[in-house]
Amino acid sequence: MTTVTIEGELIVRLDCSARRVRQVTVRSTRPMIAARVLAGRTPADAAAMVRRLFSICSGAQGAAAVAALDAAGAIGRKREPGNRDREVMLEALQDTFWHLLIDWPNTMGQASCATPVAAARFQIASSMRTTDGTPRPGDVVAMRELGERLSAIATQSVYGMPPATWLELDGVEALQAWCARGGTVPATLLGQVLAEQPTLGRSATPLLPSPQRESLLRFVVPAMRGDPAFSSAPTWAGAAVETGGLARMCNEPLVIALQRRFGHAVVTRITARLVELARWLLELRAGDEAPAASPRVLSVPLGSGEGVAAVETARGMLLHRARLVDQHVADYQIVAPTEWNFHPGGALATGLVGLEADDDAQLQGAARLAVHALDPCVAFRVEADHA
């Protein structure tokens, strides 16, 4: 079996003068090799290979591959859109626990909270497998029970109260009061950012709209077909955009209040992830009584053996485009959320311009927190150059 992985890192360079950031350069070393690696493979082989290419979000990548290949007219693929959506959601839940309880504390020089993350991972893995280790299709009762168990973990380690109660926070002052009460690592850390750097990373970069068939056909597919650089620097209607929890939760009352006060900043992005985690937990607990939501996996046939899929991952929108000739891959593109959020002219690059700090350690710490809030799926490093 051939093993290929897509690694690389983000390099964020801060060009400074008098400890003030004048310009930000974002460069990715991740190779865009999907077309080369997958060319000539059957749809089944290509879908299996995609899961092996990515160690992060492998479930979402696999779901996107299957959906894109289905849309392109792959023969003999088993279509289970409900299970795909469920897998993507559970993976996003797991990633969000990790983001809030491990990566965030580490970024701010605090001890991580590995135990609740491990507990959540165990519960999610158990829900997806039977006792003999074979895949188990999700059912309403099992998902409700999983929602109860994950909500209990979040109540203790994330919110300090039931997620539904936390969602009743109705403004900046209520959020600040929650932070002041402490009780959880996220409350303490968010309180620190609110007090010390409430506008850190603020950017005017537009938020990515919820992907719909018509908008993908109008704004994305022509660019994917015609621009060789699109996968490394994607745009929506020609402009850099921000994807992820903030884009999806931008109409939530608490997120609206933060946007009005601080803009699209670190505090707003992290709070949006907290809101989204709580919403996902309520959705799981509601089971089939939950209100209809947009599909997390959107599959769009493009004709002539071509299809595109858009998948909402924890970090944002993931795109796959596949073109088949004689039931073999002739062309393949992958656009990960990292490429949207870390576009050379995107949310991070514009949001760090003007950042000031007393010393290099403070400057780089603030920049790392801004990177964390946009949540890249690869390793990153921050470099500062002083003129």
Q: Helix, strand, coil % (nearest 5) of the chain? A: 50, 15, 30
Evaluate whether residue 1 is within a structural domain.
no
The 3-state secondary structure of 163-175 reads HHHHCCCCCHHHH
In b/e form, how buried is each residue of 127-158, taking b as 16+ CB within 10 angstroms?
bbeeeeeeeeebeeebbbbbbebbbbbbbebb
Q: What is residue 136's predicted lDDT score, i.e. its pLDDT?
A: 56
d(CA 303, CA 35): 19
Pairing of strands 317-325, 297-303: unpaired
- SS3 (DSSP) at 138: coil
- SS3 (DSSP) at 141: helix
Q: Number of helices (H) and strands (E) in the chain: give both, helices first.
A: 18, 7
Amino acid at 167: L
Closest CA to 99 of 111, 110, 109, 107: 107
Q: What is residue 58's predicted lDDT score, i.e. its pLDDT?
A: 86
Pairing of strands 379-386, 9-17: parallel
CB-based contact 51:5 (threshold 8 Å): no
> What CATH number is given to the structural domain containing 231?
1.10.645.10
pLDDT tens digits for 86-131?
889 999 999 999 999 999 999 999 999 999 999 999 999 988 765 4
Query: Which are the contacts of 106, defined by CB distance < 8 A and separation ≥ 6?
Result: 112
How far from the centroid of its chain's Cα atoms is residue 360's Cα?
A: 29
Q: What is residue 293's predicted lDDT score, i.e. its pLDDT?
A: 57
Query: What Cα–Cα distance (Å) separates residue 251 from each residue in 209, 255, 271, 311?
Result: 12, 7, 13, 20
Q: What is residue 292's predicted lDDT score, i.e. its pLDDT?
A: 47
The pTM of the full predicted model, rounded to 2 decimals, is: 0.93
Evaluate whether residue 2 is within a structural domain.
no
Evaluate whether residue 98 is within a structural domain.
yes
Evaluate whether residue 290 is within a structural domain.
yes
CB-based contact 335:377 (threshold 8 Å): no
In b/e form, how buried is each residue of 324-357, taking b as 16+ CB within 10 angstroms?
beeeebbbbbbbbbbbbbbbeebbbbbbbeebeb
Q: Which two tokens stand for residue 55?
A: 């160690």
Q: Which two tokens stand for residue 103?
A: 């990566």
Strand arrangement of the beta sheet that strand 306-312 belongs to: 297-303, 306-312, 317-325, 328-335
Evaluate whether residue 43 is within a structural domain.
yes
Evaluate whether residue 3 is within a structural domain.
no
Q: What is residue 197's predicted lDDT score, i.e. its pLDDT?
A: 95
CB-based contact 245:276 (threshold 8 Å): yes
Domain, as residue range, for 90? 9-386
d(CA 70, CA 78): 9
Amino acid at 71: A
Q: What is the DSSP string of 203-222?
A: B-PPBPPPP-HHHIIIIIHH
Closest CA to 119 of 165, 167, 158, 83: 158
Q: What is residue 137's predicted lDDT score, i.e. its pLDDT?
A: 52
Number of structural domains in the chain:
1
Q: What is residue 119's predicted lDDT score, i.e. its pLDDT?
A: 97
Residues of the chain with pLDDT under 50: 1-4, 131-135, 292
d(CA 381, CA 387): 20
